[in-house]
């Protein structure tokens, strides 16, 4: 489970080659300022957050009478717009319904997989099932447990490392890649269909439900946050172009996004390469990184790259850079380190849902531009983190995975921060 780890837009519309996501279209200027739509839901917003969000909408929305391009708003998905994780839910459903296909080689599914993990999976799942056919994971507890042990902890059931080698820790995580690679062999529409069935099941389950998959206990329910649904509705009515930017596989998020009024062309997730109509273990690249085996995901700095590529049409190495204010979202929301870069790029407001994730919360509490808003999780909020966030020493994740002090844009170091806004 990844939860155990995890205002101004472009002037003219740009075509995004192969991206599948349309950039913001230029809005027609209103002859005079109009009244902006208002947020309806008040319960659950901490302090003055709702009022500050409304102020941002009133100032940046097309309804304010500004001419030029429509502003962009970007949301992470899992635990930002919803409670819990759609990748976890879909994988659990697939394992319980024998929908994971046997690969020709477990080692070949992921470039960082160790020989130990390959042997453990081969032993646990066997070789009697023909390659490309469904593994009997609904009854084969050993196979299911091995898959989940590696996914949840990056270790085999015997405690050995499942992934090794080098990767840019601000662009990818081998386990995040691997779950999408487990979907290889299916058509994207088939994966979306599976995700819809998991969606129906998880929305019906009472809050707090757990499910047993193999011998593992996993969250068995998901809820849309009514506050975020209301915020997205209001942003859209105010003329914002609203996008989901998720570190889950894009076909899965497409099963969920319509629940908050987001169409497929406004969903950006991990995009596995499709060959002969089926998902493969390859992953579409971004910036100056070509299509690869997952060296770049919609993760941390990779989310900035994908926003620049898919929304603003920026190509090459420039997609990794923070853009001028005309080519950055007005608003962004997230809940984890996964989101820290793109949430920090927003020019109007940054919303951090508090899940006690160090780098995000250090920047949010420091609030260097006075535009950060912090809100406890709307369902089952985290309790106060008793120790200060180690912002000044070990808050920043370096590309090699080591930890370092977090610096403000001016180069100064963010001091350690107390957790003050919590459940």
d(CA 119, CA 148): 15
pTM of the predicted model as reported, rounded to 2 decimal places = 0.91
**The pLDDT of residue 26:** 38
How far is residue 247's CA from residue 338's CA, in Å, rounded to a whole number?
A: 8
The answer on pLDDT for 58 being more than 50 is: yes
Asked whether residue 29 carries a pLDDT value surpassing 90, the answer given is no
The answer to whether residue 4 scores a pLDDT higher than 80 is: no
Average confidence (pLDDT) over 312-321: 97
Residues 371-400 pLDDT 10s: 999 999 999 999 999 999 999 999 999 999
Q: Which of 34-38, 102-106, 134-138 has the lowest mean pLDDT?
A: 34-38
Task: Give the tens place of pLDDT for each residue, 171-220.
Answer: 999 999 999 999 999 999 999 999 999 999 999 999 999 999 999 999 99
Enter the CATH code of domain 2-84+224-271+299-404. 3.40.50.1000
Given a cut of 90, whether residue 64 has pLDDT beyond it is: no
User: How far from 194 is each of 90, 212, 219, 224, 342, CA to CA, in Å?
Assistant: 7, 18, 17, 19, 29
pLDDT at 403: 98
Top-confidence residue, 136 or 11 = 136
> Could you give the CA distance from residue 324 to residue 416 in angstroms, rounded to a whole number?
29
> Is the pLDDT assigned to residue 18 strictly greater than 50?
no
Better-scored residue on pLDDT, 196 or 11? 196
CA 388 vs CA 36, 62, 65, 251, 353: distances in Å: 39, 40, 44, 38, 17
Domain coordinates in residue numbering, the chain: 2-84+224-271+299-404, 86-219
- So what's the pLDDT on residue 109? 97
**Class of residue 388 by CB neighbours under 10 A (exposed 0-12, middle 13-18, buried 19+):** middle
Confidence at residue 66, expressed as pLDDT on a 0 to 100 scale: 59
Q: Is the pLDDT at 6 greater than 90, yes or no?
A: no
Per-chain mean pLDDT for the chain: 92
Q: What does the pLDDT read at residue 5?
A: 43
For residues 33-42, give the mean pLDDT.
Answer: 85
Higher pLDDT, 314 or 28: 314
The pLDDT score that the predictor gives to residue 30 is 40
- The answer to whether the beta carbons of residues 331 and 346 sit under 8 Å apart is yes
């709702």: which residue's tokens?
A: 50
């Amino acid at each position: 489970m990844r939860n155990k780890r995890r205002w101004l837009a472009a002037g003219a519309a740009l075509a995004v080659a192969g991206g599948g996501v349309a950039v913001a279209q230029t809005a027609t200027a209103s002859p005079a300022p109009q009244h902006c739509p208002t947020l309806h839901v008040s319960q659950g917003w901490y302090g003055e957050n709702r009022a500050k969000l409304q102020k941002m909408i009133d100032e940046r929305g097309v309804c304010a009478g500004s001419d030029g391009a429509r502003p962009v708003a970007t949301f992470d998905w899992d635990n930002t717009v919803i409670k819990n994780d759609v990748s976890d839910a879909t994988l659990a459903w697939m394992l319980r319904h024998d929908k994971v296909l046997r690969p020709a080689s477990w080692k070949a599914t992921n470039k960082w997989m160790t020989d130990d993990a390959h042997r453990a999976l081969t032993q646990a799942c066997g070789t009697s099932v023909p390659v490309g056919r469904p593994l009997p994971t609904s009854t084969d507890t050993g196979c299911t447990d091995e898959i989940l042990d590696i996914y949840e902890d990056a270790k085999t059931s015997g405690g050995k490392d499942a992934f090794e080698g080098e990767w840019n820790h601000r662009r990818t995580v081998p386990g995040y890649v691997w779950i999408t690679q487990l979907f290889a062999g299916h058509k994207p529409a088939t994966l979306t269909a599976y995700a819809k069935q998991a969606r129906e099941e998880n929305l019906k389950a009472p809050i707090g439900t757990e499910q047993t998959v193999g011998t593992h206990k996993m969250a068995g329910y998901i809820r849309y946050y009514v506050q975020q649904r209301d915020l997205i509705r209001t942003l859209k009515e105010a003329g914002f172009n609203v996008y989901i930017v998720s570190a889950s596989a894009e076909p899965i998020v497409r099963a969920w996004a319509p629940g908050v009024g987001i169409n497929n062309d406004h969903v950006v997730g991990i995009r596995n390469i499709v060959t002969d109509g089926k998902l493969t273990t390859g992953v579409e690249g971004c910036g100056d990184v070509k299509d690869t085996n997952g060296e770049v995901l919609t993760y941390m700095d990779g989310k900035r790259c994908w926003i620049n590529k898919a929304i603003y049409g920026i190509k090459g190495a420039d997609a990794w850079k923070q853009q001028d204010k005309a080519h950055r979202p007005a608003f962004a929301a997230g809940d984890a380190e996964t989101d820290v870069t793109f949430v920090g790029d927003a020019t109007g407001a940054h919303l951090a849902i508090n899940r006690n994730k160090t780098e995000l919360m250090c920047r949010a509490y420091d609030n260097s531009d006075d535009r950060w808003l912090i809100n406890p999780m709307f369902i089952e909020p985290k309790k106060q983190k008793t120790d200060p966030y180690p912002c000044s020493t070990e808050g920043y994740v370096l590309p090699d995975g080591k930890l370092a002090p977090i610096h403000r844009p001016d180069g100064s170091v963010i001091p350690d921060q107390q957790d003050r806004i919590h459940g």
